[in-house]
Amino acid sequence: PEYDALNRKLNSEAMTLLRNSQNLIPITHLNKGRIAVVSVGNDTESVFQKTITLYADNVGRFDDSNPLPSLLDTLKHYDKIILAVHSGKAEHRARIGRICQTGKAIVACFLSPYQMNRLSHELTHCKTLLLAYENTSLAQEYAAQALFGGYAIKGKLPVSLEGSFKLEEGIYIPKCRLGYAIPESVDMDSRILSAVDSIITQGIKEEAFPGCQLLIARQGTVVWNKAYGYFDYETHRHAVATNDLYDLASVSKATGTLPAIMKAYDNGRIDLNKPMSKYFAPLRNTDKKSLTIKEALLHETGMPASLQMTSVIIDPNSFTKPLIKRRKSSIYSIQIGNNAFANRNAQLRKDLLSSRKSDRFPMRIAQNLYGSKSLPDTLINRIIECKLRPSKRYLYSCLNFVLLKETVESATGIAMDKYLQQNIYGPLGMQTTGYRPLDRFPTERIAPTECDNFYRKQQLIGYVHDETACFFGGVQGNAGLFSNANDLAKLCQMWLNKGTYGNERILSPKTVELFLTEKSSTSRRGLGFDKPDMENPEKSPTAIEASASTIGHLGFTGTCFWIDPEQELIYIFLCNRVYPSRTHGALSQLNIRPELFSTIYRSIKNHSK
């Protein structure tokens, strides 16, 4: 590994930027405009192309198999063209020259300086020129990272070239995004870290989850981004890939609602110490009129833990009470939890839900299930009517984040999913993260969760597992986000960077500092984040090695993320442990998430707790 790390360092420091017209490198504003990647002299999917997808997932890809006239016509619809030059042969020069003449070409040249001399005429019109020196896998990997700011570009020409490029010439570009390397590059030991493979393999064997994604980053560099297992236990039709999507469950609170609150606070749209009723009018004439945004973030409002969905959407006239019993029988045959079986005769309310879409039932809840226009208001009203506990002592509550979502939407005047896309996910290049993933991705890329035989009567794929979020239409403050680990790492790194990423200012340093450091005086919770339990380490959701400044969150579907600012460390684990049933408890019984985190700490050289 040490030799591999040295080889990688040599490749990264060799990259030489010779031209950077209009400061196109690093490539920024990934949410604005379309990017095409054109390979010349390479007909197969290259390491260069694959690495680019870590930064921009939805690029157009073209190679020598695309006839030049039709290719040029297609490229008119793209705003930036990344041209990978793998060959300087005569049969490729015309193609290179014509693409450069579009005036949109960002060229990465995988040739020696002497070979590149032959292309001096063709490369005249390119806006940006990066010299990678050779056509190896590592050169391609680091060239792609260089274009997007994964590390600092600081190479200098070892010789003079024909034209205007002289000896020792090279433009310096600082690092601004996550890079990708191996553990040794950031003082971690890959031999120790490889134990995570065994932990995950054992988890799959014990059916704690059928598959997962694990990402580890330190000091701004991703050193582990792997996928394991399959989407299910039975068919093994789909091996998990790193760009697949998982239902984040309550991780949505800290990676969806919380960033929206942070941005609204940053823009002066909300005051954390003001009541939510100042912004969300339906709370004003209720017993919840004085509940503040800060109290909701800390789970110190006195709100109950959740909404009893059965009392809202189940038709009480469709079954003979009780609805749920502790023992299974011919009537109570639908298991909905440990020692909980529902009456199979229970039906959904027909005034709120329908199997067919119509003007009255426009909101898609699940496959062949649609909600009425009045359903969201019905649910909100039921939440507002919930009885507060006598004390505001800490109690984790999904309803706090439902009210926070309504608060941020009222304060900004924008739906929260759109607000996040415009202000957080888009600028960060988080192209898979979002609510209602079936609007953008095929089911083949989304991990299945529970087979819901009670409410939705189907295998859930692409519809949020959490019932509250689902019956709100898939966008809610307590759950609803889908993403992959690589995308979430960008958000985490932005926080570590004190609000910047990809040369864009997402949040102010002051706002980031406040939210990452504020902590409840009566519980382990932070402002929207969960934190280690330093007084009772054996009950902590993190590793015992985690510092007090660590922030993150767990998700019911088996997900988690943790950020330790002291170590500049990011740990993300995504799985679908609720497949095929939420009663699968092996993930917690085996203590897999904390054990993975502890292994990561043990792999850090010279780390001691």
pLDDT of 396 reads 97
Cα(138)–Cα(158) distance, integer angstroms:
20
pLDDT of 608 reads 66
Our count of domains for the chain comes to: 2
- Eight-state DSSP code of residue 424: I
What does the pLDDT look like over 39-84, one tens digit per residue? 999 877 899 999 999 999 889 999 999 999 999 999 999 999 999 9
- The answer to whether residue 241 sits within a structural domain is no
CATH number, domain containing residue 114: 3.40.50.1700
Using the predicted structure, report yes or no on whether residue 609 has a pLDDT greater than 60: no
Same domain for 169 and 36: yes
Closest CA to 354 of 342, 366, 336: 366
Would you say the C-alpha torsion 337, 340, 343, 347 has a positive or negative sign?
A: negative
pLDDT of 163 reads 65
Same domain for 452 and 348: yes
Domain boundary among 115, 143, 177: 177
Strands (E), 436-474: 451-452, 458-459
pLDDT confidence tier of residue 607, bands split at 50, 70 and 90: confident
Using the predicted structure, report yes or no on whether residue 105 has a pLDDT greater than 80: yes
Same domain for 263 and 149: no
Contact assessment for residue 598 and residue 243, using Cβ atoms and an 8 Å cutoff: no
Rounded to 5°, the CA angle 40-429-268 comes to 155
How would DSSP label each residue in 299-367? T-S---SS--THHHHB-GGGSPSPSEESS--SSS-EEEETTEEE-TT--B-TTTEESS--SSS-EEEET
What does the pLDDT look like over 383-439, one tens digit per residue? 999 999 999 999 999 999 999 999 999 999 999 999 999 999 999 999 999 999 999
Helix (H) or strand (E) holding 225: strand 221-229
Same domain for 265 and 164: no
Checking DSSP bridges between strand 504-505 and strand 500-501, what pairing results, if any?
A: antiparallel
End-to-end CA distance of the chain: 25
Helix (H) or strand (E) holding 93: helix 90-100
Same domain for 120 and 264: no
510 SS3 class: helix
What does the pLDDT look like over 454-488, one tens digit per residue? 999 999 999 999 999 999 999 999 999 999 999 99
Domain boundary among 459, 488, 512: 459
- The answer to whether residue 382 sits within a structural domain is yes
Contact assessment for residue 574 and residue 485, using Cβ atoms and an 8 Å cutoff: yes
Same domain for 165 and 32: yes
Contact assessment for residue 370 and residue 360, using Cβ atoms and an 8 Å cutoff: no
Contacts of 380 (CB under 8 A, 6+ apart): 282, 402, 406
What does the pLDDT look like over 190-248, one tens digit per residue? 999 999 999 999 999 999 999 999 999 999 999 999 999 999 999 999 999 999 999 99
Checking DSSP bridges between strand 481-483 and strand 434-435, what pairing results, if any?
A: antiparallel
Same domain for 258 and 138: no
- The answer to whether residue 228 sits within a structural domain is no
Closest CA to 569 of 548, 600, 536, 529: 600
pLDDT of 207 reads 97
- The answer to whether residue 505 sits within a structural domain is no
pTM over 0.95? The answer is yes
Cβ neighbours of 58 (radius 10 Å): 11
Query: Taking all residues of the chain, what is their mean pLDDT, rounded to a whole number?
Result: 96
Same domain for 449 and 348: yes
What does the pLDDT look like over 254-275, one tens digit per residue? 999 999 999 999 999 999 999 9
Closest CA to 26 of 169, 165, 181, 175: 175
417 SS3 class: helix
Domain boundary among 459, 484, 511: 459
Closest CA to 124 of 143, 105, 140: 105
Q: Range of 88's domain?
A: 2-177
Cα(20)–Cα(130) distance, integer angstroms:
9
Same domain for 170 and 60: yes
- The answer to whether residue 606 sits within a structural domain is no
- The answer to whether residue 70 sits within a structural domain is yes
Same domain for 290 and 164: no
Using the predicted structure, report yes or no on whether residue 162 has a pLDDT greater than 90: no
Closest CA to 40 of 71, 76, 80, 74: 71
Same domain for 259 and 346: yes
Which whole number is the average pLDDT over 502-521?
A: 97
Contact assessment for residue 383 and residue 399, using Cβ atoms and an 8 Å cutoff: yes
Using the predicted structure, report yes or no on whether residue 448 has a pLDDT greater than 90: yes
- The answer to whether residue 538 sits within a structural domain is no
- The answer to whether residue 589 sits within a structural domain is no
Which amino acid, one-letter code, is at 30?
L
Contact assessment for residue 128 and residue 85, using Cβ atoms and an 8 Å cutoff: no
The more confident residue out of 163 and 10 is: 10
Same domain for 268 and 157: no
